[in-house]
A and B are shown apart, each in its own frame.
Chain A
Amino acid sequence: DQQVKQNSPSLSVQEGRISILNCDYTNSMFDYFLWYKKYPAEGPTFLISISSIKDKNEDGRFTVFLNKSAKHLSLHIVPSQPGDSAVYFCAASAGYNNNDMRFGAGTRLTVKP
């Protein structure tokens, strides 16, 4: 069952603009959310996370927003850079056992120079 969904398989933005990647989840027990970035031929690397006690977490150019009532989170990258071009995975877990982590299918972001 797809408990974490990324409905956009791809996104293309111009360098310098904002990239917004979206993720929806169905399990109301999830309370820890992460974004991973994956380049070809490499494993996913952790990018940013957010706990359900927050609605926003910012780290440099990356900000994750969480809307618990809508079971929706988003990753904003601003300004976007060509090096941000990668596949971005959303993941979620229930905090009491964050070993049970569910991943979305990924969104391929292309940032054009």
Chain B
Amino acid sequence: GAGVSQSPSNKVTEKGKDVELRCDPISGHTALYWYRQRLGQGLEFLIYFQGNSAPDKSGLPSDRFSAERTGESVSTLTIQRTQQEDSAVYLCASSSGALYSNQPQHFGDGTRLSIL
């Protein structure tokens, strides 16, 4: 499809394991974003990529969280040594990324992560 694709859609894992979440943005979108939404809460910004670079990593909650993007396309968000508080829906969005250009972000359906 032409939208943002995220995989897996659901992930259940044991505390302490590492998880990797994947995002395929809309083709041609240079900007890519990761957000987290905990149960009953709003969207929490995690990290943003412009191309393959991440100018803003300020939202990453701890050093257990990392993200990369390659080929100005696919991005992976990795959570090491998962904790129960990491349970949330992780949303990816992309946009054209052009500065001085007001463009909405387009979201994927998210990965629902449950840490047992």
Contacts A43-B91, A43-B109 known; A100 to B100 CB distance under 8 Å? no
Which of A95, A101, A104 contacts B100 (CB under 8 A)? A95
Which of B42, B99, B100 contacts A105 (CB under 8 A)? B42
Question: A-B pairs with CB below 8 Å: how many?
Answer: 62
Residue among B4, B6, B99 with the highest chain A CB neighbour number at 10 A? B99
Kindly supply a per-residue 1/0 record for chain B positions 21-64, scoring 1 wherever the CB is within 8 Å of any chain A CB and 0 otherwise: 00000000001010100000111010010100000100000000
Nearest CB in chain B to that of A90: its residue: B42
Q: Is B71 an interface residue (CB 8 A)?
A: no
B102 close to A32 (CB less than 8 A): yes
Which of B31, B42, B95, B107 contacts A45 (CB under 8 A)? B107
List 18 A–B pairs whose Cβ atoms lie within 8 Å, in order of A's numbering. A36-B104, A36-B107, A41-B109, A43-B6, A43-B93, A43-B110, A44-B91, A46-B105, A89-B43, A95-B100, A96-B100, A97-B99, A99-B99, A100-B56, A101-B105, A102-B45, A103-B35, A105-B42
Task: Give chain A's interface residues, CB within 8 Å of chain B.
Answer: 6, 32, 34, 36, 41-46, 49, 51, 89, 93, 95-106
Known: A44-B91, A98-B95. 14 other contacts (CB 8 A): A43-B108, A43-B109, A43-B110, A46-B104, A95-B100, A96-B100, A98-B101, A99-B31, A99-B33, A99-B48, A103-B43, A105-B41, A105-B42, A106-B42
